[in-house]
Amino acid sequence: MILVLSAVILTFTATLADAQNNQNSTYLSGLLQTLNNAGLTCLASAVGSVNSTSTGNQLLANLSNQKNNYTVFAPNNDAFSNAPSSATQDPNVLTDVVAYHVVFGHFPNVTDYPNTTIGRTSLEDSSVVMLEGNKSQVVAWARREDGQVHVLNQNRTNNPHISQQISYQNLNIYVIDGILDYPADINRTFQSNSDLTGFANLADNTDVPIWSTGDHTNKNTTVAEVLYGIRGLTLLVPSSQASIQEIPQISSNHTQLWAILRNHIINGTTVYSPSFVNSTHVSAAGQNLHFSSNSTGKFVTSGNTTARIVQPDVLTKNGVLHIIDRVLLNSEVNENAADHAYSSATELAGHSSTETGPVGVPTGGSNGSIGGVNGAVGNWKGLSVFGVTALSIALGFFFLFG
């Protein structure tokens, strides 16, 4: 293991010879020694591999410059031994994996599930992250029923837990017993959670027209493809049981069904559960979504329907899903409200800064609201859906058929 550490340090030394590099070699050598002393020799070796890529080199420079505090979820040696080779052999893939374990800020408080803590990670590779405003991906964690703090590993049933905490200069390092998967695209997310299959089947088999910027015509595509391409998506997903019980009653009326589905979407921004405290957001149909909580849980109300949030913060490549226990049966649409909220959210995303603490936790004012109503929705305007209702999807920079 000492030989492994020495090789990694030599890698850093060679890299630092490059005049373009702005890493602090003393800091990084100390970090490697700290990891080695904690028995995290595989992670120390991974750091050396990551440093051979331009993105990883910059990540380590950011850490070593100590301009920010960071939280690091550090997989132990067993976690690396059990990891698929696809996650550890390619230095570029490994860089993305390691970046997802590095979170901006320190987090002294731990929430009890279903309340979660959300942190902004260093993973910003555009091939695996598609959030609004080119934001980096987030990770979620909470204390579970067993009394241990678990990181919510999105694509697996086992959520790694924190077994040890160590510190090094500006880093709080939490040793975990698994490697975290960064969030997958929405199609893979649907497949990995049995509570999402009912809605996934509906999304795969419901067509809506999209305006093509290529030949300036309307073309049909599925709801699933629309959701896949949205940059900054919040989706309230009725559980499979709720979907099976309630959606068949309205599925024959395509106009009503699509309006109801739009009222489950907040388009153009990711809204994580910590921001739900007595807040209001606007759906992609231009209707208010009121969020509230009490001793029995968290709830969302649209029109005359209130649903309980049974699983918050299912993270995806382009946003977040929250599983609810019933369908929000609101078929009202307000296109002007939808357009206004989307424009506000898009402008806000373009000027936002990277959070260095819990994401979504109000820091004062009106819970981060835009003009009294939190952003945002899609820009869905005038063309016919199934020949009946007015609708289009012009998501600024997303054009499915461009």
The residue with tokens 């809204």 is: 271
In the numeric block, the tokens 């301009």 are attached to: 67
Beta carbons of 285 and 338 less than 8 angstroms apart: yes
The tokens of 113 are what?
A: 């599930």
The single-letter code of the amino acid at 146 is D
The CB-side HSE value for 29 (13 A sphere, CA atoms) comes to: 13
pTM of the model: 0.85
- DSSP letter string over 122-161? S---TTT---GGGPPPEEEEEE-TTSSEEE--TTSS---B
Q: Are strands 218-222 and 207-211 parallel, antiparallel or unpaired?
A: antiparallel
Q: Which helix (H) or strand (E) holds 103?
A: strand 102-104
CA count, 13 A, side-chain hemisphere, 47: 32
Exposure of 204 in the CB half-sphere (CA atoms within 13 A): 11
Give the per-residue pLDDT at 158: 76
Round to whole Å and give the CA distance between 296 and 234.
23
Q: Looking at residue 255, what is its pLDDT?
A: 82
Find residue 289's DSSP bridge partners: 281
Please name the residues in contact with 96: beta carbons below 8 A apart, sequence gap of 6 or more.
123, 125, 128, 182
Give yes or no for a contact between 32 and 47, defined as CB atoms under 8 angstroms apart: yes
* Cβ partners under 8 Å of residue 212, min gap 6: 218, 219, 399, 401, 402
Cβ–Cβ < 8 Å for 354, 120: yes
> Per-residue pLDDT for the chain (402 aa), expressed as one digit of tens each?
444 444 444 454 444 434 346 899 999 999 999 999 999 999 999 999 999 999 999 999 999 999 999 999 999 999 999 999 988 999 999 999 999 999 999 998 889 998 999 999 999 999 999 999 999 999 999 999 999 999 997 666 679 999 999 999 999 999 999 999 999 999 999 998 888 998 999 899 888 877 666 677 777 889 999 999 999 999 999 998 887 777 766 767 888 888 999 999 998 999 999 998 889 999 999 999 999 988 889 999 999 999 999 999 999 999 999 999 999 999 999 999 998 888 888 888 877 788 989 998 865 433 332 222 333 333 333 222 332 222 333 333 223 333
292: β partners: 299
The amino acid present at 137, given as its one-letter code, is Q
Q: Which residues of 242-262 are buried (b: 16+ CB within 10 A; e: fewer)?
A: bbeebbeebeeebbebbbbbb
User: Which three-class secondary structure string do you get for 293-339?
Assistant: EECCEEEEEECCEEEEEEEEEEEECCEEEEEECCCCCCCCCCHHHHH
Angle at 97 between CA 93 and CA 100, to 5 degrees: 140
Cis peptide bond N-terminal to 312, omega within 30: no
Spell out the alpha helix ranges (H) of 66-130. Answer: 77-82, 85-88, 91-100
Point out which residues pair with 102 in neighbouring strands. Answer: 72
